[in-house]
A and B are shown apart, each in its own frame.
Chain A
Amino acid sequence: MTTRVDATTSYDADEHGWFGGPQTGWGGRFMPEALVAALDELTVAWHEAMADPSFVAEFDAILREYAGLPSPLYHAERLSQLVGARILLKREDLNHTGAHKIRNVLGQALLTRRMGKTRVIAETGAGQHGVASATAAAYFGLDCTVYMGTVDTRRQALNVARMHLLGAKVVPVDSGSATLKDAINEALRDWVASVDHTAYLFGTAAGPHPFPSMVRDFTRGIGDEARQQCLDRYDVLPDAIAACVGGGSNAIGLFTAFLDDPEVAIYGFEPGGEGVDTPRHAATIHAGDRGVLHGARTFVLQDEDGQTLESHSISAGLDYPGVGPQHAHLATTGRATYLPVTDAEAMEAMALLSRTEGIIPAIESAHAIAGALVVARQLGADKGPEATMLINLSGRGDKDMGTAIEYFHLGDPDDVTEEPVGDVE
């Protein structure tokens, strides 16, 4: 079993999707009435599926046989020596399609088929969730339409091609800032008009109830597996765990299994962009204010009038001005600590992991590496080299090579030299 879909924690939402109660808490459902019936239907179907052993067994079998799970827990020895603490990497980069996101889309697509719907829609920023959705749609034989901002279709042309090859329709979105948040808006507009036969495969643990909790259930296998793998190998729980947080699906997927282990410190690393003292970042929990975005009460980067601000991160997958409401709850209760990591720190970590372990991480995941290594150094200094930091390596970096070539001034294909080139220290 890779996912304990039936388990609960002390930090779950109530039946209406409120984390920490409706008055002072987070989440809920701020949605057009036209979509409420569909969200209610989805909530019932999700609860019934989670309680149905045949659904859970099928989900588990698909994850094992098709997506390649459980992913390994890898002891990064050279990195461990470097920081003086044991560094464990949960290798979600090895999953089919290259990131943790396959768990969520396979779960939601399996549920779509169970509900008798024939079409799926999805939003995507960098294209990873779009590719994963197109993959799941191909696997289950569903029609698939992916909404993607035109800023992103230009900078992620390879993922557009992958989606097309997988048989998905890609709709460029030119409204607003023409990025992820606008792709979500457009997908919601599609859904209002198509809800009788269409499921919305939401790409992160945000949005209206039940998405934050349902996406968590489908991704919590990351932490369930990692916790067991760590116990099996070392007979102890890690001292700390870490993940990057944009919308927050890989992070909540890792965190959930450890929420009721108070001895395990939990860290989420937000995209600090060019610095949280500049306007160019996406550190929503660190710098945002309580608000409502895409159907949930959560932290939002917004101006004085409640207009959503444009976010920035070098990592398209973290470039979102909101955050999943359960993270807002974990932050305000103090159960998890959220800290910003800048573009430069993330890129440095990308290079470091590449050269010390032979693993090129997604820039998203590099945020987790950068932030976690700082914490791990302190842990090692306090508790010795047995101190354990478990990091979710949520995705692989192939998709980010364009950014890396530009950032590090990597090789010119017309002028290949014997020595590695570029500005990597």
Chain B
Amino acid sequence: MSVATAFEKARADGRAALVGYLPAGFPDVAGGIDALRAMVDAGCDVIEVGLPYSDPVMDGPTIQAAAQQALDRGIRTADVLRTVEAVAATGTPTVIMTYWNPVERYGGGRRGGQSGVERFAADLAGAGGAGLITPDLTPDSAPEWIAAADRHDLDKIFLVAPSSTDERIAMTTAACRGFVYATAVMGVTGARSTTSDLAEPLVARTRKTTDLPVGVGLGVGNGDQAAEVASYADGVIVGSAFVRALLDHPDDRAAGLRALSALTADLADGVRRG
């Protein structure tokens, strides 16, 4: 199933789609795959696999801690692709969320007439991955990725922010495929106690430029918040709260998976109430 199909299916059900994020390799590669599958089983419609990176400028402390743990255990980009393959095999569309440098540098960068970007796109498509979310790459800096994504029929999910001008939103959505990622707050990833009042007007501005579904991320952590966001957005994106569920059970994986499933069920209920 493609990302677009997952959103269409949710829309046909009269609800928003639930998009769930975890970094690959957390708590380790096999444990990360188990966790992502548990999220699929409990109701995530789309999965985002994070590619742990040494300099994650858009991430708050929760996701930083998980990604650092994965890096400390020696996660490689190949392990991230392996994770994508395992999750995509469930039939749930799976995208990678990644900072840009690891894509450019994949497989050692440009070698033998092939760029790292092209190699990454080919291997992501080969693993059954649906596309990329690129938090530090905007379409005006992305000609190489756009070309590679088009060659391999991958989704290009760029971000719009409350600070984006209408012109930039139009430029960004024109380059997106799959869905548009609207950042609900001016800030980094992390669950917040209240939802943002910047998100709804941003979604409205974004819709004026595109028919693509609009997902809202940053700061959503429970079913009530998901319901609120689902009332105006096509997708609710949750990351740090899932990571937190695992971080809270460092020595008991079964308990971590139960917490993850319970949170997923709460959020899945939320997107149906919105």
List the interface of chain A (C-beta within 8 A of B).
16, 22, 28-38, 175-176, 181-182, 185, 188-189, 192-193, 195-196, 289-295, 300, 302, 304-308
List the interface of chain B (C-beta within 8 A of A).
53-61, 64, 68, 71, 76-77, 100-110, 116, 135-138, 140-141, 143, 158-165, 168, 172, 183, 185-188
Listed by A's residue number, 29 A-B pairs whose Cβ atoms lie within 8 Å are: A16-B140, A29-B141, A30-B136, A31-B136, A32-B57, A32-B136, A33-B160, A33-B161, A33-B163, A33-B164, A34-B159, A34-B161, A35-B163, A36-B163, A36-B164, A37-B161, A38-B163, A176-B54, A185-B55, A189-B188, A192-B58, A193-B185, A196-B186, A291-B101, A300-B101, A302-B101, A305-B102, A306-B104, A307-B53
Across the interface, A193 reaches (CB within 8 A) one of B61, B68, B106, B187, namely: B187
Closest 10 CB pairs of A and B: A306-B105, A34-B161, A306-B102, A193-B187, A37-B163, A306-B101, A308-B54, A188-B57, A307-B54, A292-B101
Cα separation A395 to B175 with both chains bound (whole Å): 47
Cα separation A29 to B61 with both chains bound (whole Å): 25
Cα separation A307 to B106 with both chains bound (whole Å): 10
Q: Is B109 within 8 A of A185, CB to CB? A: no
Distance from B179 Cβ to chain A, minimum over Cβ atoms (Å): 15
Q: Is B186 within 8 A of A304, CB to CB? A: no
Across the interface, B56 reaches (CB within 8 A) one of A33, A185, A304, namely: A185
Cα separation A308 to B68 with both chains bound (whole Å): 13
A187: nearest chain-B partner, CB-CB: B57
Cα separation A189 to B116 with both chains bound (whole Å): 28
Distance from A111 Cβ to chain B, minimum over Cβ atoms (Å): 19
A295: nearest chain-B partner, CB-CB: B136
Distance from B268 Cβ to chain A, minimum over Cβ atoms (Å): 28
Cα separation A308 to B162 with both chains bound (whole Å): 30
Q: Is A189 within 8 A of B57, CB to CB? A: yes
Distance from A284 Cβ to chain B, minimum over Cβ atoms (Å): 14
Residues of A within 8 A of B101 (CB): 291-293, 300, 302, 306, 308
Q: Is A291 within 8 A of B105, CB to CB? A: yes
Distance from B135 Cβ to chain A, minimum over Cβ atoms (Å): 6
Residues of B within 8 A of A38 (CB): 163
Cα separation A33 to B57 with both chains bound (whole Å): 12
Cα separation A181 to B165 with both chains bound (whole Å): 30
Residues of A within 8 A of B135 (CB): 32
Residues of A within 8 A of B141 (CB): 28-30
Q: Most chain-B CB neighbours within 10 Å: which of A22, A37, A192, A293?
A: A192
Given contacts A30-B100, A33-B164, A37-B165, contact A307 B186 (CB under 8 A): no
Cα separation A241 to B32 with both chains bound (whole Å): 54
Residues of A within 8 A of B161 (CB): 32-34, 36-37
Q: Is A189 within 8 A of B55, CB to CB? A: no
Q: Is B58 within 8 A of A176, CB to CB? A: no
Cα separation A36 to B138 with both chains bound (whole Å): 9
Distance from A26 Cβ to chain B, minimum over Cβ atoms (Å): 13
Cα separation A35 to B138 with both chains bound (whole Å): 11
Residues of B within 8 A of A295 (CB): 136
Q: Is A34 within 8 A of B168, CB to CB? A: no
Q: Is B102 within 8 A of A36, CB to CB? A: no
Residues of B within 8 A of A32 (CB): 57-58, 135-136, 159, 161
Q: Is A189 within 8 A of B60, CB to CB? A: yes
B160: nearest chain-A partner, CB-CB: A33
Given contacts A175-B64, A176-B68, A306-B105, contact A33 B172 (CB under 8 A): yes
Cα separation A115 to B242 with both chains bound (whole Å): 40
Residues of A within 8 A of B76 (CB): 305
Cα separation A188 to B185 with both chains bound (whole Å): 15
B108: nearest chain-A partner, CB-CB: A304
Across the interface, B186 reaches (CB within 8 A) one of A16, A22, A34, A182, namely: A34
Residues of A within 8 A of B143 (CB): 22
Q: Is B186 within 8 A of A192, CB to CB? A: yes
Residues of A within 8 A of B110 (CB): 290
Cα separation A295 to B136 with both chains bound (whole Å): 8
Residues of B within 8 A of A35 (CB): 163
Cα separation A292 to B105 with both chains bound (whole Å): 9
A-B contacts besides A22-B143, A306-B77, A308-B101, 4 pairs, CB < 8 Å: A185-B56, A188-B57, A292-B100, A305-B106
